[in-house]
């Protein structure tokens, strides 16, 4: 277990020039702090999980709960891009032009970012990918990077929601642009209206959660991301869960599947 001081030293010295990595420090430190005293999967098993599903299916909420329970980092490419937009990095500027239109950020801006992130020390017992891969080339890039280390993903959890539920879910979604926490005005309200429980910043309807952009994102999901269900089905690691069930039931189902 590395100390906070060591992590700060390592990342600040290696990457002071790039705000993306400063964000990474915060993410690592946050994950370490929030996971103190939580359960491990045990038996020396690793837990490398992909969350698949349409935008707004609730995969981020479940990913955070899994990350917390098993002490594995939650890696959300959407959060990484948003942090870069907030910090005004070059990557953020490029990503924003695609995100605002409901389009995917090109694979060449996405793959290396994730491959680098999962190579970090805190991912050695596993990690949970939320929003990556989103295309077959991204999945192939991930498979190849893991093959090079004689590793593979353990599970791809497909959170299955009919399209008609998505638009209503997304219009009620609220996000904290500061720490990435997500809420829903009915299903997962903040304790204080409009204020993030985790960091106290305001929560907002993200631009890309607005109905016109959601429609585009759903089209993109069907064309480019849904084929991953067959890709991971063929690899024998696909688990599907019905997310129209209550959130806690969905979480219990996922835990049962991955601990079976
Ligand atoms: P999310 O928060 O995962 O719904 O992602 C928000 C937006 O970020 C998406 O609509 C995409 O524009 C972009 N994005 C996130 N992850 C990826 C990815 N793996 N590949 C390409 N674009 C992505």
Q: What's the CA dihedral at 95, 168, 239, 33 to 10 degrees?
A: 60
Instruction: Tell me if 132 CB under 6 Å of ligand 1.
Output: yes
Predicted confidence band at 160 (pLDDT cuts at 50, 70, 90)? Answer: confident
Q: Is the CB of 99 under 6 A from ligand 1?
A: yes
The lowest-confidence range among 86-100, 112-126, 161-175 is: 161-175
| Res 131 pLDDT > 50 | yes
Tell whether ligand 1 has an atom less than 6 A from the beta carbon of residue 81: yes
- Residue 6 CA to ligand 1 centre (angstroms): 31
User: What spacing in Å lies between the alpha carbon of 5 and ligand 1's midpoint?
Assistant: 32
How large is the average pLDDT for residues 67-84? 94
Counting from 1 in the atom list of ligand 1, the atom nearest the Cα of 103 is 12
Q: Give distance in angstroms: CA of 26 to centre of ligand 1.
A: 20
- pTM of the predicted model as reported, rounded to 2 decimal places: 0.79
DSSP 77: H
Whether 47 is in the pocket of ligand 1, judged by its Cβ within 6 Å, is no
Residue 17 DSSP label: T
3-state secondary structure of 67: helix
CA atoms within 13 A on the CB side of 45: 15
Model confidence band, residue 43 (pLDDT cutoffs 50, 70, 90): low
Of 96, 130, 131, which is best to mutate to test ligand 1, by the most ligand atoms within 8 angstroms of its C-beta? 131
Our answer on whether the CB atom of 77 is closer than 6 Å to any ligand 1 atom is: yes
Give the pair of three-digit tokens for residue 34: 């929030």
């Amino acid at each position: 277990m590395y100390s906070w001081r060591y992590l700060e030293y390592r990342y600040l010295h290696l990457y002071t020039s790039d705000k993306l990595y400063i964000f990474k420090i915060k993410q690592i430190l946050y994950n370490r702090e929030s996971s103190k005293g939580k359960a491990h999967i045990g038996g020396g098993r690793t837990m490398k999980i992909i969350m698949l599903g349409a935008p707004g299916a609730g995969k981020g909420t479940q990913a955070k709960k899994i990350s917390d329970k098993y002490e594995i980092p939650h890696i959300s490419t959407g959060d990484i891009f948003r942090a870069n937009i907030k910090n005004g990095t070059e990557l953020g500027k490029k990503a924003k032009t695609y995100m605002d239109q409901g389009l995917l950020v090109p694979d060449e801006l996405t793959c290396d970012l994730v491959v680098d992130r999962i190579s970090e020390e805190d991912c050695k017992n596993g990690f949970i990918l939320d929003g990556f891969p989103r295309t077959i080339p991204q999945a192939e890039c991930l498979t190849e990077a893991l093959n090079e280390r004689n590793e593979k993903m353990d599970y791809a959890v497909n959170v299955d929601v009919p399209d008609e539920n998505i638009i209503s879910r997304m219009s009620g979604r609220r996000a904290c642009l500061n720490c990435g926490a997500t809420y829903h005005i009915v299903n997962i309200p903040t304790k204080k209206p409009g204020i993030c429980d985790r960091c106290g910043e305001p929560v907002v309807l993200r631009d890309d959660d607005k109905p016109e952009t959601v429609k585009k994102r759903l089209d993109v999901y069907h064309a480019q991301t849904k084929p991953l269900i067959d890709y991971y089905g063929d690899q024998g690691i696909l688990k599907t869960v019905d997310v129209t069930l209550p959130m806690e039931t969905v979480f219990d189902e996922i835990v049962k599947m991955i601990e079976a």
